[in-house]
Structure formats: structure tokens, C-alpha cells
Amino acid sequence: MLAMRRRSSRVFLFLSLLGLFLIVLILLNAPPFEDVAAKKGLSFEREVQPSPPAPNGKRKKVLLMWTSVFGLKTANLDDCPLKDYCTLTFDHNLVEDADAVLFHMDPSEFDWGLIPRVRHIHQRYIFLLQEAPHLDYQFNSNVVPGFFNWTMTYRLDSDCPMPYGGWWIRPEEKAKVSPEALSRIDLSYNATTILAQKTSLIVWLVSNCHTTSKRELVVEALQRQQIQVDIFGACAPTADKKNFCPKSDGAKCNAIFSRYKFFIAFENAICKDYVTEKYWDRWNSMSVPIVMQRWTYETRIPSGSFIAVDDFENAAALANHLRYLDANNTAYMEYFKWRDEGYDKAQWNGPGYRLGYCRVCENLLKDDEPPKVINDIAHWFKDEARCEKGEFAEAWSKGRYKRV
């Protein structure tokens, strides 16, 4: 028995040494990191020279984009009031100087095999995504615990929020906001002006026809109630409507909304804070948005400015409400009353409302910014997002939804 144990120990030691030898052999024969990176489209050629000092005489903070964003290298700080204190670059040669390294976590652009080979303790690694987790990015199965320090997403609880469209400032909040942070809003609340342009009931501009939120089922349920919904974009029923509103002609697209009393603003996912261009590109049109669920919007956009599907138990109830508003101009105009109540928008990247890259710069400039490590980024991004799938739309469209 003792001899067998000794023999097993010798075999185990031999196999361990053999495995170590093979790993070293692979590493010695692996292609250079730069060659692999080049095949991935990553550049190691110097693109910029070190920046001059910031106005305060200190070294500028360096934001290094380690990946492209949707294939583009256009990120910049041009619209950031703090741009003289930070520099943003895609030059990997500056990794030693970087104060923050940003990774766009789209699987087509991020590769664990191409992360920086050297990391300094002062550097913040930033998780960057502006899409909702319903798209199920494949980062969560092999993410390194503690790899990221900060988050930069559409969610307002991100370390560096990058919400679509920015922030509304409610009338009761303005006393606490510095004047330079306000962008004054002056929209018509004149019934004659608003109603004069109306020729149709509901418009929906849509390019994704089958979504996680199952929003298409809600529209189909309304259509079964004899509610006319004019659909434009890739999901339109006719060729002329498919091609009427190309993405390259945003002005033409947005011009159609004022002709309709209502527009569909359904997202392809229902998640906390996920309010995209479906609303933000059209909020100033003279039309009332119809959204999927109230809880997603009630803290993000002006009260009384929208219609939430989940305020109604079924398609028949919503259809009756829309018909009532179509026939009653006074009731319809109540949805524009917010325009006269003192709502303003936060100045883009104004003090207290920095966004995205500008917020990264602002945070880096804080001497008292505490260290932070995110142990489980998948839990934060996916589990805490409160995302739903298509259960609501399926139940509502079949008349099985019960309001709580």
C-alpha cells in the first residue's frame, strides 16, 4: 500500500511538471500581444503626444478608451466644461499614464485576452454599456471578480451615469439648482397651436419587430380594438412607410409626430431607468407619449405628460380612454399642462449633472473620491436592473392583467 502511494505521488509530480512545461512552451511560442491586438483592430501606434498641464498647473487626468464603442473611436470631451483638466484618448501607449481605463463591454469589442498587461493601483477600470441587460451580453460568465471600479451606463445609480437625454428638473427642485445648471424650456401650451396640426391618432416609429418586452403584442391588441396605429420604419406593413423615415433623415422622422395626437414610446426592454430616444427624441413634439409601464417613467419625465398602458387593465379600457381624449380637446390638453408648470431640463453637462465621460473626468478630479471595487458586476448590471421580459405585454394583450 505504501509503495502504491509513493508511486502515485511520483506520477502526480511528473504530470504537474509536464503541465508546467507545456504552459511555458505555449507562452514562449505565443504570437506577440501586439500582433494579436492588431488582428482585433486595436492600435498600439502613438496617436497623440502628452497633453500640456491643466489650467491649475497639475497634470491632466487621462481617460483611456481601451475599446472602440460600436466600432467607432469618436468619443471625446468636446462638450464637457472640464475638458481642459482631462484628456480622452484611444492610444494604448498611454496606459501607464491613464487614470481611468474604459471598456465597452459589447462582446464584439471586448476581449479578456487583450486587457492591459500592467495595472496600477490608482487606475479606475470602468464598465461601459448603454444598452439594457436584456440583450444578454456574454460578459457575466467569465468576468473577473473585482476587475471593475466604476460603472458608466444608462442607469442613474451608475458611478458615471450616461442616461439618454439627460435630466428633467421639476419645479420644486429648481430652488436647489444653480442657475448655470438650468436649460430653460419654452414650449407652447396653446390649444389652437397644438390641435391645428393634428390629422391622425397614433404613430409608431419602429425598427425592431420582435422584442424582449413584447411591445408589439400591445400594439396588436389596440389594433384589434379598432384603434388606428400608423407604423413607420422597418416594421411598417408597406414599402413606402418602411422607407418614409430613414435613420439618416432625423428631421423628417421627427416632423411627423406633431401630426398625431399620440405616439408609441415603447422600449424593447423594461428596466429601471431605461428611457431611450423613443422618448427623448420626441419629448418636445406636440404629441403625447404612450409608454408601457408607469414605474419606469414616473421619476424620469414630467408628471401628467404621458399615458401608461399599465394604468388600464386591458386593451378595451385603453382604447376607450384614447377615443375619449380624441373627442374631448379639454381633456386632451391636460397632457400638455406640464409645459406651463415650470419644468426645465438640466444643462447638458452642467454642474451637478455631468454625464458619461464628463462625469468620469469630474470624479477623477475629486481628491476625496474613495477607492471602490465592484466584486460582482453581473449582479449589479443584470440583477439590480429590475428588468422584465414579455410577461406584462402577454398578459395585458390577452386581458389577463390585473392592476395592483
As a whole number of angstroms, the distance between CA 229 and CA 330 comes to 23
| Contact between 95 and 46 (Cβ < 8 Å) | no
Query: Residue 248: its pLDDT value, please?
Result: 63
Q: Please list the pLDDT of the chain residue by residue as tens digits (404 residues).
A: 444 445 545 544 444 444 444 333 433 444 444 444 444 444 444 444 456 778 877 899 999 999 999 999 999 999 999 999 999 999 999 999 999 999 999 888 888 888 999 899 999 999 999 999 865 555 555 678 899 999 999 999 999 999 999 999 999 998 889 888 898 888 989 999 999 989 999 999 999 999 999 999 999 999 999 999 999 989 999 998 988 877 666 666 777 898 999 999 999 999 999 999 999 999 999 999 999 999 999 999 999 999 999 999 999 999 999 999 999 999 999 999 999 999 999 999 999 999 999 999 999 999 888 899 999 998 999 999 999 989 999 999 999 888 87
Q: Which CATH entry fits the domain spanning 197-342: 1.10.1740.10, 3.40.50.11660, 3.40.50.1820, 3.30.70.100?
A: 3.40.50.11660
Q: Within 258-333, where are the H helices?
A: 277-280, 294-297, 315-327, 329-333
Q: Comparing C-alpha atoms, which of 314, 207, 239 is closest to residue 216?
A: 207
Q: How far apart are CA 127 and CA 264, in angstroms?
A: 31
Nearest-Å Rg of the Cα atoms of the chain is 26
Q: Taking the domains of the chain in order of start, what are their residue ranges?
A: 61-162+356-385, 197-342
The Cα 83–Cα 249 span in angstroms is 31
Quote the pLDDT of residue 372: 95
CA atoms within 13 A on the CB side of 167: 23
| Burial (0-12, 13-18, 19+ Cβ within 10 Å), 327 | exposed
Supply the pTM of this predicted model. 0.83
- Judge whether 180 and 351 are in contact, CB under 8 Å: yes
Judge contact between 200 and 263, C-beta under 8 A. no
Give the pLDDT confidence score for residue 139 in this predicted structure.
Answer: 54
Q: In the prediction, which pLDDT does 10 show? A: 54
